[in-house]
């Protein structure tokens, strides 16, 4: 499979709505992981065939505070690894809350394995 075919396959597999089941974060690689949105977060990320991405995550399960954005996405790297497909996706945000999200667009490494998507910021 060529690199461009693998990227297209990853893009195709990303399409759809993905429910957030866990969110862990840490400021640096040496810091401990924390559950940023609590132990049972809710949220959704949607990748559409048009190239649109939208996400919404209530802060600690509250709809009074939201992290949300809308924009476009592009898969820039992808390679099979066993039964999984690993790659990198870029989100180019057009609208975001909080607004500081517009200031950074880190590449997001991901792994697709069946009906599970694991994503991170680098």
Digit-coded pLDDT (tens) for 62-73:
656 788 999 999
Please state the domain extents for the chain.
Answer: 3-119
Residues 83, 13: contact at Cβ < 8 Å?
Answer: no
Which of 1-10, 19-28, 76-85, 107-116 shows the lowest per-residue confidence on average (mean pLDDT)? 1-10
Give domain 3-119's CATH number out of 2.40.50.100, 3.10.20.740, 1.10.287.470, 2.40.128.300. Answer: 2.40.128.300
Residues 69, 97: contact at Cβ < 8 Å?
Answer: yes
Predicted confidence at residue 51, as pLDDT, reads: 97
Residues 12, 4: contact at Cβ < 8 Å?
Answer: no
Residues 36, 25: contact at Cβ < 8 Å?
Answer: yes
pLDDT band at 24 (very low <50, low <70, confident <90, very high): confident
pLDDT band at 49 (very low <50, low <70, confident <90, very high): very high
The 10s digit of each residue's pLDDT in 68-115 is 999 999 999 999 999 999 999 999 999 999 898 898 888 999 999 999
pTM (global) more than 0.95: no
Predicted confidence at residue 80, as pLDDT, reads: 92
């Amino acid at each position: 499979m060529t690199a461009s075919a693998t990227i297209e396959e990853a893009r195709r597999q990303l399409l759809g709505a993905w429910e957030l089941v866990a969110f862990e974060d840490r400021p640096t690689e040496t810091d401990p992981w924390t559950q940023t949105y609590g132990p049972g977060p809710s949220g959704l990320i949607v990748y559409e065939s048009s190239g649109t991405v939208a996400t919404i995550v209530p802060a600690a399960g509250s709809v009074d505070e939201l992290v949300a954005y809308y924009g476009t996405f592009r898969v820039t790297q992808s390679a099979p690894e066993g039964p999984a497909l690993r790659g990198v996706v870029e989100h180019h945000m057009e609208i975001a809350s909080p607004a500081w999200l517009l200031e950074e667009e880190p590449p997001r490494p991901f792994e697709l394995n069946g009906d599970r998507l694991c994503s991170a910021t680098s």
